[in-house]
Amino acid sequence: MRPLALRAALVALTFLAAVPVAAAASAVRHDERPMLLPATEGPGAAAASASSQPATWLVAAEPGRAQAAATARRFGAQKLRTGVVYRVATVRARAFAAALRADGALRYAEPDTAMKHASALDAQPGGYARGLVVEPGIAPPAPGAATIAVVDQQVDVTHPDLAGHTTVLNPGPLLGPHGTMVASAATGALNGSGVFGIFPSNPVLSVGLPLDLRCSDAANAVVAAANARARVINLSFGSPQPCTTLYAAVQIAFARGSLVVAAAGNEFAAGNPVIYPAAYPHVLSVAALNAALQPSAFSSENAAIDVAAPGVGIPLAIPTVFDDDGVADGVTLGSGTSFAAPIVSGAAAWLATVRPNLRNGQLADVLRRSARDIDPPGYDLGSGFGLIQMGAALAAPTPALDPLEPNDGISFVDGSVFTNPDRYVWTGSGRRTFSATADRLKDPVDVYRIRLPARSQARIRLRPAFGNPDLFIYRSDARSIDQSSRILARSRKAAGQTDAVTVRNTGRSARRYYVAIRVAANRGVSLSTSYRLEFQRTKFRR
């Protein structure tokens, strides 16, 4: 990822346009199975009233278990696009999970988190937003090379500012104004009227979401956008409740080359909870600034914030049927991180068009590193690395590529989330060395698969360039980095020192191991790290 000063928290899911919020960020653990339920994998019959229960639950099966599909049919469960995850009616969730568990096929179960569309218009003088991001004299490139997927309410393709460059992936009725407003902030056409977006007339793929938005809907839509090869995926919704299934969907999108940009949340005045998906690893989280370049009164503050963009009084296109500001011209003003996020999405698509060799992680790093710092100096919880700047991003040097991402847990490399397990980074022959980075909040863990031949021994070394990474070796039957009983060896030296372990396979056949790199939470030490990992076969000692 990137070096940065100490940071500390995270974010959630609803269409995010100026909604009140407050301040008390809670730390959230990002591992591969954060939502695994304890004793009861389904909703407790007496634990809560029917009104407090979601209509559906999400139940995940272990990959490669042929009986899971038949069990799902028996309970009327619907398979999602993310791994082997099923949506099932709440009344059947406990029994379905129990049936999978009896077959040794249950991975996790979680409520199908509800998300809401929330737009609150703020009729302040507008027109400033694009000028704060795109310096005078910088002309956008010819659009077409980097599609932006707007995962939101369906975009109005008849609106003059969006007609001609917007297609709809899942046609249906126009459910609300939010998607059209979001799309116009990113790509509103330069046609002499209406809204002039950051990257005018760039292709938009509208991936429609229902008004009654749930985690399962969002997860399916994100994977659909990634399957459609969207270069940038904009998520202007959120929830304070994390959802493992959406987390997996975001990582699938990242693995397929999409840069996921998400609204950080409008919850500062309502307790400042962490909002997802903006807080997930490998998501570019965007805060909202006002015209004075200060964090808006509503924009959430936490350590997951990456960058900021204008988010108060933004000129936006709106379907005329929803245009109730007194002039039915299809244009309005809106406020919220919902509209700061697509400004960043437009800039990311522009950057990807001009610099097509940048990978998605590098696009995010360039936007962070080239941002204009605002008060207070340095990284801060309200604006992240600062206001994105198009000119500086176009001229910024190419960051180092972080290999093999996403690999933030064992489930991301063993085939649980993705169709196939990752290739082994080393199979016991000779010596291999490679470099990578990690960040305690945005890239919290790096996990690699290795295979050691029978009756052989290896020395594994972790050399930090900066920061304080620690080294852990897990047995082949480990399913999560939280399973301390599956740790074979570990090394946790002080910052700047080399960690090293020896691994021995005394068996008569080759064995698999998981090598995990985790960033230590030492006070005063950067929460990001760059490191070199070395594997070397050594003499086997009986």
Distance, CA of 30 to CA of 35 (rounded, Å) = 10
What domains sit in the chain, N to C, each tagged with a CATH number? 55-112 (3.30.70.1150), 116-395 (3.40.50.200), 410-538 (2.60.120.380)
Give the three-state DSSP class for 182: helix
Question: Catalytic: which of 117, 165, 178, 282?
Answer: 178
Dist CA 273 CA 294 (whole Å): 20
Q: Select from 246, 521, 253, 284 the least CA-distant residue to 405.
A: 253
Cis peptide preceding 210, ω within 30 of 0: no
Dump pLDDT digits (tens) for 430-478.
899 999 999 887 888 999 999 999 999 999 999 999 989 999 999 999 9
pLDDT tens-digit profile of 52-68? 578 899 999 998 888 89
Rounded (10°) CA dihedral 521, 522, 527, 531: -100
Q: Give the model's pLDDT for residue 340.
A: 96
Q: Which of 236, 285, 300, 338 is catalytic?
A: 338
480 is catalytic: no
Per the residue annotation, which of 112, 122, 152, 414 is the catalytic one? 152
338 is catalytic: yes
Q: In terms of DSSP H, where are the helices of 473-536?
A: none
Smallest Cα–Cα separation from 118: which of 236, 209, 217, 10?
A: 236
Written as tens digits, the pLDDT of the chain (542 aa) is: 333 332 332 223 467 765 432 222 233 333 444 333 323 333 333 333 444 578 899 999 998 888 899 999 999 999 999 889 999 999 999 999 999 999 999 999 999 988 754 333 333 333 468 889 998 889 999 999 999 999 999 999 999 999 999 999 998 877 789 999 999 999 999 887 788 899 999 999 999 998 889 999 999 999 999 999 999 999 999 999 999 999 999 999 999 999 999 999 999 988 999 999 999 999 999 999 998 999 999 999 999 999 999 999 898 999 988 888 777 788 988 999 999 999 999 999 999 999 999 999 999 999 999 999 987 888 999 999 999 999 999 999 999 899 899 999 999 999 999 989 999 999 999 899 999 999 887 888 999 999 999 999 999 999 999 989 999 999 999 999 999 999 999 999 998 999 999 999 999 999 999 999 999 876 555 668 899 999 999 988 76
Please give the model's pTM, rounded to 2 decimal places. 0.86
Rounded to whole angstroms, the Cα distance separating 30 from 8 reads 13
CA distance 216 to 223: 11
Q: Are 349 and 230 in contact (CB under 8 A)?
A: no
CB 246 within 8 A of CB 264: no
178 is catalytic: yes
Residue whose C-alpha is closest to residue 346's, from 125, 158, 161, 159 = 161
Give me the pLDDT at residue 127, please.
45
Residue 485: which residues within 8 A CB-CB, separation 6 or more? Answer: none
Decide: residue 346, CB within 10 A, 0-12 exposed, 13-18 middle, 19+ buried.
Answer: buried
Q: Cα torsion at 314, 336, 200, 208 (round to 10°)?
A: -140
pLDDT tens by residue, 477-495:
999 999 999 999 999 999 8
Report pLDDT for 52. 57
Q: What are phi and psi of 155, to 5 degrees?
A: -80, 140
Give the distance, in angstroms, between the CA of residue 426 and the centroid of all CA atoms in the same chain.
28
Tokens read off for 420: 């196939």
